[in-house]
Structure formats: structure tokens, C-alpha cells
Amino acid sequence: MSETKPIDVRIMGFIVNPIAGMGGSIGLKGTDGKTILEKAVSLGAKPIATIRAEKFLTELASFKQSIHLLVGAGDMGETEAEKQGFNYTVIGEKQLQTNSADTKKIAQGIVETKADLLVFCGGDGTTRDILEVVGTKIPVLGVPAGVKMHSAVFAINPKAAARVALSFLRDELPVREAEVMDVDESAFREGRLSAELYGYMLSPYEPSLIQVSKLSSPTTEDEVHKQAAIAVYVIESMHPEMLYIIGPGTTTRTISDLLDQKKTLLGVDLFVDKKIVEEDVNEEKILQALNGKPAKIIVTIIGGQGFIFGRGNQQISSRVIRQIGLENIIIAATEGKVQNLKSLKVDTGDPSLDLLLKSQRFQVLVDYGRWKELSVE
């Protein structure tokens, strides 16, 4: 892709969901609904969508004279567009507290203006709101800023989203029908993953920069046996004085099952001496537990996508990873999960850490004592 090829002036819709992703690092697994949002704020959650929106627009800075933005009022796009010096038209009125109705209203205005592309910063809940209004009328691209991002309209990170947007606006990319997925947040918080396909939207397609929809882990007898073999190997390797930060997933839960410990399937738990010492922790509790102690992180891979950090395990933040060290990361996933992966992916929200991770090659534990080497893309 040419980074300097000029583009004619194009119209791009831009919507920011300012509350998206606030539940990630504090372990709330989403911010759908006023009650959960208030709880997130009370626990010290910080907005991340604004930061990600600014990163996206910064990557487009060299082309700002060629792109006219249609933005939501206030924190739903206007603030970021003004800060980055873009030409823009505001849709809607500024709100002190935004909700899904505001997202839909802005999306409707973008459709009516016949924008070339609609870009939004949010998660799967935002995607569903936009689907309801947009359908397949105009192409849509997501900048990942939520906690749960199962839909296939998302780029792998803000920088990748900018590259996709530019290529599409230069007529260099095709569109495809991308799945819009979401999970029941109430069930999610109770440890039950209930994902549903809500429909399809047109989205620019560049396979190295766009994530696929999340694939559920297979539950075949062979897969279960391999998960158990991985778990046995991990357990045999555990040091009694080491703090183990174990991320979500069925592969990691098998470790606790064999230890007769009840791990939270979709949360992060802390283990010492093969016992859970704290369950469903957030970033703050992990950092408090570390306090200079030796520790290791155990995570699995999101099926189909290849993410090890930044999707559903934001509690294991960049601050946590930096404190523990890359050499103390253990990745466990069955061969069924890794056989079609060319590389791993990360989206920690910390670009310098992402670059550091991308400079490494990681050993993935795929069976008892058997490893497969993969790089981070």
C-alpha cells in the first residue's frame, strides 16, 4: 500500500462512544447500561475510547485536507476532530451523558449524507447500535475500544484502522459482509459466554489488518484431552512461591479444574501454591498483589483471531505486563487453535509495548511438553 498516494476529498463519518472500554481494566467485562457505567466510574475506570480515537486520527493527519469528517457532537467525535485539526461537520447536539440513541442518531445522519465510509470507536455494543441504523447501506469500520470485540468489522488496532480507512478511500480495498456479534453482558459477568450473531455490515477488507469474528473453542473429546495435557504440564511446572496471573478461557480454566479450584471462566484469577488466592481481579488488584513478588502470566489465544492481550483480558494491562516481564508470559493453546494462525496479535493500548511484543517470538504450549513458536504481528 502506498502511504503517500493522494486521495480526492472524501466524506468519512466518525463516531466515538466515549464510555466504551471503561469496564476492561477494572474487570467489569463491559459498560452496557447506566448502572454498570456508574459502577465503573465509582471503581476509577478511565475513558479509553477518546485516546484510541485520537490515535486513529493522528495516523490520518497527513491526509486531513483530503478528508471531511461527519462527527458526533462533543465527545462523540467533535472534540477529537477539532483537536486534530480536521475539517468537519457536526451531527446532533452535545450531551453530558451519551447513550445508544445518540449513536443511532449520528449514524442515521451519516447515512443520509451518503458518506463514503463510517468509522466508529467502540465495542460490540456500539457495533450493534450502528447495525440497526446502517445495515449494508454504507461500509463501516471499527476502531477497537471496547471490552468485548467479537465482530468482524474491527481493525486489529487504531493504527491498522487508519491504514484500512486510507486504502479504502483510495479505492484500493474491496468490501465484504462482516459478522456483527455480541455477548450477553449479564451472562458474561456470571461466567457464561452467550454469543449471538446479530447480522452483517459491509466493511473494508484487508486480512492482515482486520480481525475475524471470534471462534468458540471446540469441545471435542480430543480437544478436551489436549487441554488436560497442557494443564498437567503447567501444574507440574508451578513453583509454590510464584504468583500466577491466569487469564480467561477454557484452556486456562482446565488448569484450575485439575487443581480442584473454581476459576472464573471469563475473568482473571490469582494463584499461589496451586490455590486461588483472589478471583476475578482487576488491574489494580493485580498490581497490589505483585508488590515485588515473582510472577508469571498464563493466557490463551482467542480462537480465530490470535489475540493474546487486549481482547477480553484488559485487566492484564500494559502496566502489569511491563512489571512482570515478557520472559514470564506463558501462552497455552491447543493445536486446534493455533494450526491456522500465522502469528499472534496484541492490542494493549500501549504502542511501545506492542512494538516490544512484536519484536519477540513466543513459545506456545500446545500439548504436554510440546511447544510451537509464533511471532507477534
Split at pLDDT 50, 70, 90, the class of 362 is very high
Split at pLDDT 50, 70, 90, the class of 195 is low
Statement: residue 42 has pLDDT above 80: no
Separation CA 141–CA 14 (nearest Å)? 10
By the 8 A CB rule, do 121 and 21 touch?
A: no
To the nearest 10 degrees (0 to 180), the angle between helices 158-169 and 49-59 is 40
Give burial (CB, 10 Å; 0-12/13-18/19+) of 89: middle
**Alpha-carbon dihedral of residues 246, 250, 256, 260, nearest 10 degrees?**
160
Please give the radius of gyration of the chain, using alpha carbons only, rounded to the nearest integer.
21
- For the chain, what is the mean pLDDT? 87
pTM assigned to the model: 0.76
Statement: residue 26 has pLDDT above 70: no
Split at pLDDT 50, 70, 90, the class of 186 is low
- Residues 6+ positions from 363 with CB-CB distance below 8 Å: 331, 371, 372, 373
The confidence score (pLDDT) of residue 282 equals: 92
CA separation, residue 196 to residues 2, 117, 240, 327 (Å): 38, 25, 41, 37
Of the chain, the percentage scoring pLDDT greater than 90 comes to 68
pLDDT in tens, 50-62: 999 999 999 999 9
pLDDT in tens, 228-255: 999 999 999 999 999 999 999 889 999 9
Least confident stretch, 21-25, 69-73, 111-115, 362-366: 21-25
Would strands 345-346 and 307-309 be described as parallel, antiparallel, or unpaired?
A: parallel
Q: Which DSSP state fits 258?
A: H
Assign domain 10-204 to a CATH class: alpha beta
**Alpha-carbon dihedral of residues 365, 367, 369, 371, nearest 10 degrees?**
-40
Statement: residue 136 has pLDDT above 80: yes
